[in-house]
Structure 1
């Protein structure tokens, strides 16, 4: 936790300085999560017995005073539970800032910010980054009593990049609350940090609001809010716009601004949560269960992992072998679905069988109960074979890995995801199916969201092949 002293007046100069601190500190590798405390800024002073929700580990200050004097000063307006480590701010953060004396000077009238009883803003607030902090900080600086925050939920998130990797709405609301509580506790009220499923939320219902804080890209949204407020005979809100903060280190497929979308993209191919060791599983080979919906790009990922040295077990191919003529599964499938699914060559015609089962989930369940156990037996045999060969890593490529409970004999679960619209286009192009049929195939499977919730690693083949390769190369297990 990094803390910076605030000043008694709400000034543009301090806002510019604080913004600079957030932006510059975000560029420093391993710099602690930063909070610029506004507890003695504007309106009401805060009692020292209101503790921070995050422990104070470090204090970064521009003060040249001795450590004891700084901590004594801080304890007058925040609760410091233990002796933190104090640092002088890096020079890059202090350029064009004040001296200790100038902080105490009275600000000019033109430098004082307009403040409001009640300020409103909205956003996704996924994994709070510097852009979010600046947005929330300015809202807190301009508010004397309340900050209402709308946090997007439901269909509002469907068009986001990699919405499956969004934190749950409750987690995002809690992060916003904790940030506001730390920097200016009397404007943080849990009951007015709320999920929203439309672009307006409470911004068009509360009469005492005076200001909406927006980013450059959501300014039109602020204007739309005012239009709706006027239609409801409510006052127009002053609109204060935050500048977009550029990302100097964005990747080729990422946005050139600091964004949650880029942060989610950087999670691809990384370990989202550590797998729990299972003493029943042999250590070699290390089995990765790779799953994903139709047209998600699992095959291309398998090829890349195979080139890195992994053995691959294709459960789709094992499915073909599971009901070859002469097997028990063949007899059971024909008995259940009719002799018209058998082709002229004596084998089961997969397209004819697929037409029957994809249109009726109950029929698909019956087929799976026949075929899945046979596939699992063959997969285990191949894993044992790789173990005898000394192959260190094995990929179990299975679209229905989770539904069939084959993850019981894997060490990790990896999922390939792709936007539904892209998956539909791939299916129509590849299989020459209609849009309705393509959608039916997708919706007959487990959703991306459900797969991601149970995955240790998530991959996405939506972008260029080299980006997929980059995701596959994150690990040293090969």
Structure 2
């Protein structure tokens, strides 16, 4: 299996339909031999560049549609060439990834192939690449999906703009980007939504920073088409440069964002600016949905949902811990469903220790080690009528003051450590995996005491609702409680696996089963 490959497809304009009937099987064949990136380069056998370019506006998006259908796990990148714009630019391109295998749908003479590869700065790689003839593999023919939009023109412009989040770059994004690139002669402006605009997105915690998304987008754009100028910028509203840049001529939108394009034109006209031409692409429908909570279109939201319960980050070595039992630290946002996840893991065979309940034991009665220190520090007002510490009263004190919370932990944790080790010693002969439910695992830097960190996340609106119901708090008190806790976004870098209990119990169980299967296949001896 190779990591990266190049597919050179000889293409004659006006034969689009017959050409596309083979592309799906070509991509499927490539996906059997490549694990990561496949570059597709169209070798045009026609001198009529204008006709070619109009054709390419249909062919290139269609290739991405077939890539989604036939090779959904491959990062397919259709290369654009300088002559598409009737320009012979001497600039040599350099691909981000070096192909190790070459696919061709027609036989090439060796000197002509080397000459063609030199345009991609790959002439020196020729002798080292394995070559696969697609024509000799008797590829099957299949009807391509008609993805052409009736709301897109053949017109091209000097300066074009688009906008989006561009998280988890997928084939739907690539259709939008390639359409914009092929319609653009000079400059493509792309607005990338910043973090403030993502709060209503599904699983915003899993979205990379705006800076990283812009960096990844620039790498991709220049890899595919380095012959135009890119202005990729952060935007904090739905309009960005589109309502202030008078040089822009057109905007490319999807079927669901047409109204956004129309609103931009209303603002431009109110400012005395020329309205933008609006070209509309069709949404790419998802043929590979993995659960009922995913969207029907190909979307970054669905890709983020698919990450739940999977290994996002390899665990760090823990030479301080024995291999058995394998310890999982289950932590997360308050009221995010940690106990629910723990119960599901227990049904699958894990031993469960609620470390937070162990902490409560350390001050449960007056003869416990931490009791006296807590009462002396926080006063007798925290006691109930039976002389026991009222956790709700204590919680209101410490959650409003970070210093007091740290002080409470300093009283409790030395004894918790002792009790925890006793529990582990009792359970280790019965369980290969023990899950430690610890609310403040990351805040208290206890990550080195477990083999992996599993994190539960949940949107703030639902957390507030659960806190109000469970802890009998007002909305303002619930929000105060949340504000005092480390945000999930800051915990994410430490997490090996992430869960979200936002949906039905059945989908939460799917996540847990996925994580349990991964754990037993890869780590538990």
Is this a same-fold pair by TM over 0.5?
yes
Q: CA deviation at 1:196?
A: 1.3
CA distance 1:121–1:446, shift in 2 (3 Å): same
Aligned pairs (5 A) from 1:231-270:
231-250=270-289, 251-270=291-310
Q: CA deviation at 1:66?
A: 2.7
* 8 A contact 1:274–1:456 mirrored in 2: yes
- 1:307 aligns with 347
- 2:385 aligns with 344
1:419-460, Cα deviation, whole Å (9 max, x unpaired): 000111111122222111111111211111112221010000
- 2:39 aligns with 2
Task: Report whether the alignment pairs 1:415 with 2:455.
Answer: yes
CA distance in structure 1 between the aligned counterparts of 2:354 and 2:190, rounded to whole angstroms: 48
* 8 A contact 1:401–1:407 mirrored in 2: yes
- 2:316 aligns with 276
CA distance in structure 1 between the aligned counterparts of 2:323 and 2:205, rounded to whole angstroms: 31
- 2:501 aligns with 461
Aligned pairs (5 A) from 1:348-359:
348-359=389-400
CA distance in structure 2 between the aligned counterparts of 1:67 and 1:427, rounded to whole angstroms: 71
Task: Report whether the alignment pairs 1:88 with 2:125.
Answer: no
CA distance 1:261–1:95, shift in 2 (3 Å): closer
Q: CA deviation at 1:292?
A: 1.1
1:185-215, Cα deviation, whole Å (9 max, x unpaired): 12243xx111211111222222211111111
- 1:13 aligns with 55
What SS does the aligned partner of 2:182 have? Answer: helix
* 8 A contact 2:195–2:209 mirrored in 1: no
* 8 A contact 1:288–1:396 mirrored in 2: yes
- 2:416 aligns with 375
What SS does the aligned partner of 2:470 have? Answer: helix
Task: Report whether the alignment pairs 1:401 with 2:436.
Answer: no
* 8 A contact 2:369–2:415 mirrored in 1: no
CA distance in structure 1 between the aligned counterparts of 2:381 and 2:161, rounded to whole angstroms: 64
Q: Structure 2: where are the runs of 5+ without partners?
A: 1-37, 147-151, 521-525
* 8 A contact 1:180–1:188 mirrored in 2: no
- 2:84 aligns with 41
- 1:68 aligns with 110
* 8 A contact 1:164–1:449 mirrored in 2: yes
CA distance in structure 2 between the aligned counterparts of 1:96 and 1:376, rounded to whole angstroms: 60
Displaced runs of 4+ in structure 1, greater than 6 A? none
CA distance in structure 2 between the aligned counterparts of 1:204 and 1:348, rounded to whole angstroms: 60
Task: Report whether the alignment pairs 1:53 with 2:96.
Answer: yes
Q: What is the Cα-based RMSD across aligned positions, in Å?
A: 2.3
- 1:429 aligns with 469
* 8 A contact 1:3–1:59 mirrored in 2: no
Q: CA deviation at 1:353?
A: 1.3
- 2:35 aligns with none
Q: Structure 1: where are the runs of 5+ without partners?
A: 98-110
* 8 A contact 1:151–1:173 mirrored in 2: yes
* 8 A contact 2:166–2:213 mirrored in 1: yes
CA distance in structure 2 between the aligned counterparts of 1:86 and 1:73, rounded to whole angstroms: 18
CA distance in structure 1 between the aligned counterparts of 2:318 and 2:145, rounded to whole angstroms: 56
Match of 2:243 among 184, 188, 204: 204
Match of 2:263 among 224, 228, 231: 224
Q: CA deviation at 1:94?
A: 8.1
Q: CA deviation at 1:30?
A: 6.6
Match of 1:181 among 209, 222, 226: 222
CA distance 1:135–1:92, shift in 2 (3 Å): farther
* 8 A contact 1:58–1:87 mirrored in 2: no
1:24-54, Cα deviation, whole Å (9 max, x unpaired): 1122247632121221312423436221222
Count of equivalent residues: 461
CA distance 1:302–1:35, shift in 2 (3 Å): same
Task: Report whether the alignment pairs 1:166 with 2:166.
Answer: no
CA distance 1:92–1:320, shift in 2 (3 Å): farther
CA distance in structure 1 between the aligned counterparts of 2:195 and 2:259, rounded to whole angstroms: 22
Q: CA deviation at 1:222?
A: 1.0
1:296-334, Cα deviation, whole Å (9 max, x unpaired): 001110000011111111012101111132122100000
CA distance in structure 1 between the aligned counterparts of 2:145 and 2:381, rounded to whole angstroms: 81
